[in-house]
Amino acid sequence: MLYTFTYMFSASELYKVEKPSRYIGGEYNSIVKNWENIPYKVALLYPDLYEVGMSYHGLQLFYYKINGETDLLAERVFTPAPDAINMLKEKNIPLRSLENKKPLSSFDVIAVHFLTELVATNVLETLSLGEIKLFSNERTPDDPYIIAGGPAISNPAFFEPFLDAIFIGEADDIIVDLVRFLSEARQKHANREETLQRLTTLFDGIYVPSLKNSVKEHHVLREDIYYPERFLVPNVEAVQERAVVELMRGCTRGCHFCHASSYYRPVRETPPDKVVELVKSIKKSTGFSEVGLLSLSTFDYSKLNDVVDRLQGEHLNMSLPSLRLDSLDLSLLKKVDPTAHLTLTIAPEAGSDELRKKLNKGFTNEQILRAVDVLSENGWTKFKFYFMVGLPFETEEDVRSIAKLLNEADSVAFRNNRRSRIHGTIASFVPKPFTPFQWERQITPDEAEQKYTIIRKSLKRQIDVSFRDPWFSLLEGVLSRSDEKVSQVVLEAWKRGAIFDTSENDQKRAIWEDAWQSLNLDPLDYLKGRSTNEPLPWDHIQVGPEKAFLETQREKSEKGLLTEDCRYGCLGCGVCEGDLWPTMA
Amino acid sequence: MADYGLTIFFEKTGESAWLSYKDYVRHIGYGLVRAGLPLLYTEGFQERALLQAPPALPLGVSSLGEPFFIPMNKNLSLTANDLKPYFLRAETPVLVLNYKLPHYLSLFKTPSDLLKLDLEKQGLKRTLDEQHIDTWDVVKVGIEMVNGEQIDLSLRTAD
């Protein structure tokens, strides 16, 4: 009755690692194909812990899309936790996939998901554990092709030497043919340079670091977006364990600091019938009791009322991420999610109306306080606020106004409900490439600390505020606007032990500081403002709007002029062409 | 609490032996929803299907049948085979009873002996440590109820 199977670890080894079920696979809805019978094989590498990666919708999307093809096989690989890494190294065990438990090096293609720049050292560690040659130029025709994609690698300079190719944009309609092409090349032992050269001519959105080719982001039409109808049920409870249905891709609001707004243009709403069908089918195939309706600005989805009404009575907890106050609908919120009585998350970003306008966020403090008033009167007890300091055009008064707004919100909420709690999260602004703020100066960690102190001193004692370590904002900023020299720092930091840099601590900071010093580079040099005339390290890549449009937006920001929602009139940003236009439900 | 309910025995073998008990219970809950059973739900903000899980097993211990009580508002007649497609092989339902089990002792097969333990009162992990037995060498093979009735799970397959 008992049956045996093979793990990456033996039972006695598994027993010694934390959460061993991270490493065994076999989840409900996982697909284990016959390794010998499938010609083309890709490993989907998510460079973080199992429970983090299993929350990522994109991983499930590619997993089912690729495994839906009879000649392809996709298997998952995550970065093991530090204790398991030590075990692998100690016992000399190569990292294996979760499905067929095959070493990473036995796949034709390894597709790396970059959702944040701070996973760079995790990628190196994972490839190294999989016995993959780290540098692209060291790989032979027998080695797997390492490709990467995701918003955080849209300026790939900090990671170029380690990748064979980078996919810029959305790969729903390309991934299958891309994997076939590269797998075939590997199996035929084709010349790698020629293969990669051909790749750039055959597919849109391909950037090959060794060729330094110019590339334009690839977008998919709404009808080509792939919607998985089932989900893997994680062994270890995922960070966000729920069925995710893409309500819409893209956002029309165009906040000037927002990279996703550039990367995922234009808006493509999923038809409501499709959303309802997907929610029901994922619930049926997983048993999940929570559904996340994924979008960058949920209340902008034109048929939200319709979708919510049709999902009532399904024993489902719905969560709506990314709510904007200027489109908040209280009656809908009450209907959608009874748990909203617990928490409402608002991202004012700036404390003053003037500065918020310069970010292209049109709502005011008055609207925020009115929302807190109405919601706290209606039973909401927790209000989370997200702010940034060091924004372009920010004054000291703007910084003080963050504390002032939090204090006022606390007074309003407490007046209506004595159990109300206000929580603020404050981080240092990171200018991202391909946004209107890509030329802006990023403040130093010392300056950020000074601003944090101003806020701390003006806050009421009972308000709970967490401040992001500004040093890690610096690291994120340096990587996202990096040039090629930074890739050497990444390598050096990894060699010195940097890993899991998304969790902040002083030890990691010291490792990175040593790495910069050893290469005689100063991270502060990468924080400086850049002139709009000056060439940027990512100029050969075009993501989202054209550069001229970004410049115009930056000028409007300086003048405090808002840009309209592009659903109500084309702004000429240069993204839409042919059949690609904002598509409403 | 509901008037009716089912006790369903699920395997915890293979991969599932390495699941934390919390994750195992979570999986069983999902499977019951997938099977479309007329479950009862908690009435809090976050609706959860009601079920009563047995005492936890240490990590690595396999079981040929962990009895979960699923309260319901009506009598239901089904077999373990009806439920099989909705669960992992490592969590296969092996036996369905249409009543709630009284207090029982768990029977474990170890490399050296057969252990009989009241898991509510006596920890399995400590017992195994005292006898220097590795948890992955131990399998729960049956239960013995207070009235002397025994369910030998090692003889059972899905009916």
**Tens digit of each residue's pLDDT (9 = 90 or more) over A17-52:** 999 999 999 999 999 999 999 999 999 999 999 999
Q: Which of B9, B16, B18, B42 to mutate to test the interface with A (most CBs of A within 10 A)?
A: B18
Rg (CA), chain A: 24
Lowest mean pLDDT: which of A134-138, A182-186, B137-141, B147-151? B147-151
Do A18 and A85 share a domain, yes or no? yes
User: Can you give the pLDDT at residue A3?
Assistant: 47
Residue A231 belongs to some domain of the structure: no
Q: Which has the closest alpha carbon to A263: A314, A310, A205, A312?
A: A205
- Rg of chain B over Cα atoms, rounded to whole angstroms, equals 16
Q: What is d(CA A518, CA B151) in angstroms, rounded to the nearest whole number?
A: 68
Confidence bin at A342 (pLDDT 50/70/90): low
- Sort out which chain B residues have CB atoms less than 8 A from A341's CB and list them: 45
8 Å CB contact of A21 and B29:
no
Residue B23: which of A15, A235, A341 has the nearest Cβ?
A235
- Interchain proximity B88–A1, CB inside 8 Å: no
Is residue A272 over pLDDT 80? yes
A82 and A143 inside one domain: yes
Q: Which residue has the higher pLDDT, B55 or A508?
A: B55
Chain B partners of A284 at a C-beta cutoff of 8 Å? Answer: 34, 36
A vs B, Cβ pairs < 8 A, gives 90
Looking at the structure, do residues A96 and A202 belong to the same domain, yes or no?
Answer: yes
Residues of B with CB under 8 A from a CB of A: 11, 13-15, 18-20, 22-23, 26-27, 29-34, 36, 41, 45-49, 59-60, 62, 64, 87-90, 134-136, 139, 154, 157
Rounded CA-CA distance A118/A59 in Å is 18
Number of domains in chain A: 2
ipTM for this model? 0.92
What is the strand order of the sheet A243-246 is part of? A243-246, A290-294, A317-319
Tell me which residue in B30, B59, B134 faces A288 most closely, judged by beta carbons.
B30
Domain ranges, residue B111: 4-155
Average pLDDT, chain A: 93
Question: What is the pLDDT confidence band of residue A1, given thresholds at 50, 70 and 90?
Answer: very low
Confidence band for B7, pLDDT divided at 50, 70 and 90: very high
DSSP one-letter string for A191-219:
-HHHHHHHHHHHSTTEE-TTTT--EE-B-
Residue of A nearest to B136 (CA): A11
Mutating which of B10, B11, B15 best tests the A interface, going by the most A Cβ atoms within 10 A? Answer: B15
Is residue A18 less than 8 Å (CB to CB) from chain B?
no
Residues A68 and A110 both lie in one domain: yes
CATH code of residue A97: 3.40.50.280
Chain A residue numbers with beta carbons less than 8 Å from the beta carbon of B34 are 284-287
Domain annotation covers residue A419: no
pLDDT per position as a tens digit, B34-79? 999 999 988 776 677 899 999 999 999 999 999 999 999 988 889 9
Which of A222, A250, A265 lies at the terminal end of a domain, its last residue? A222
Is A141 an interface residue toward B (CB < 8 Å)?
no
Residue with the larger pLDDT of the pair A503 and A223: A223
> What CATH number should be reported for the domain holding residue A559?
3.30.750.210
Looking at the DSSP bridge assignments, the partners of residue A111 are A44, A147
As a whole number, mean pLDDT of residues B25-39 equals 95
Cα separation, B143 vs B152, whole angstroms:
7
Verify that A164 and A301 share a domain, yes or no: no
Which of A187, A222, A257 corresponds to the end of one domain?
A222
Q: What pTM, to 2 d.p., does this model score? A: 0.94
Establish if A270 belongs to a structural domain.
Answer: yes
Based on the fold, state whether residues A208 and A247 are members of the same structural domain. no
Q: Considering only the beta carbons, identify the residue of A1, A26, A285 that sits closest to B88.
A: A26
Residue A579 CA neighbour count, 13 Å, CB half: 5
Number of domains in chain B: 1
The answer as to whether A271 is a domain residue is yes
The answer to whether residue A220 scores a pLDDT higher than 90 is yes
Q: Is the pLDDT of residue B20 over 70?
A: yes
Is residue A213 located within the same domain as residue A288?
no
Quote the domain boundaries for residue A249. 242-325+545-585
A108 pLDDT higher than 80? yes
